[in-house]
Amino acid sequence: MTYQSEVASGTAARSAYRLDTREEYICWSRMQAEAGQLLEAIVARKETERRAGGGIFLWGVGNPPAAIASVLARTNAPVRAVFSIMKSRPKMVDVAPARTVVWRRYIDAQGVNRPLPPHALVTSRGHSAGGTKLRHYALMCRSEEPLLVRRGEPFDPAAFRNAGGTGAPVGASQVTALLRRVAADSDDADYEVNLNAWLAESYWVRLIDPAELDLGKLAMLHTLADLEPENWCKAVAEIRGGLPEIQETKARGTLL
């Protein structure tokens, strides 16, 4: 499978993709290269994951969610996931990390420790400023449409405020945030809606149980996007190295 980019053109195409101003909440994430893979490769891999999962895919993010995320998940409130390409170039620590890990378990919206779905593959760099990276997070998303990087639809962060805390404006350092709409989008916005999906299942989860990838498994990552869905889960299981036999347990803390 090759990287695909679709340039939205024409009034009909733009209006069909435009965010509905009646949607109260959205989850906005800025995307770029991660865990040694360029963005184009990540999107292609996530499209294969989406097809193998019947529309469900997980998108790794570095920061924890607002507390309201688990409430929205438990009530099944509709929350659109909007992905925008970062303006800045990817950091070298993301383009060429010293270590890369694959995540194998997560804490769901009820606080239960579960294995990731067999089709879900989330990787990240294996170190952080404090040393070994022990936590990561993921957006659980659903899309009935193929994942394509689109162009031409503006996204205005100024039309939103953070859904948690004091409702502050979106900070320049916030990479992923749960937002609440306060105004209509401006057509002069600096960002675009480059990918579009809906949060699903537990919405925004904490990942646990990382396993470091050796050179062979790192090489496999670059071939996964070419697999058919029936072979995808076998490859994911191989990269994970086999899931440990841990019963589902209630975690002490949820999504923190």
Residue pLDDT, tens place only, 199-221: 999 999 999 999 999 999 988 88
Segment 31-40 shows an average pLDDT of 81
Confidence of residue 21 (pLDDT cuts 50, 70, 90): low
Which range (3-12, 48-57, 222-231, 246-255) has the least confidence? 3-12
Residue 239 to residue 229: CA distance in whole angstroms: 16
pLDDT at 256: 35
Neighbours of 96 (CB within 10 A): 12
Residue with tokens 């499209």: 47
Residue 207 to residue 133: CA distance in whole angstroms: 11
Segment 8-18 shows an average pLDDT of 36
Confidence of residue 37 (pLDDT cuts 50, 70, 90): confident
Which are the contacts of 34, defined by CB distance < 8 A and separation ≥ 6?
A: 42, 60, 90, 94, 123, 124, 125
Could you tell me where the DSSP H helices lie in 8-76?
11-17, 39-52, 68-74
Q: What is the pTM of this model?
A: 0.83
Report the residue count for the chain: 256
pLDDT at 227 over 90: no
pLDDT at 229: 82
pLDDT at 189: 84
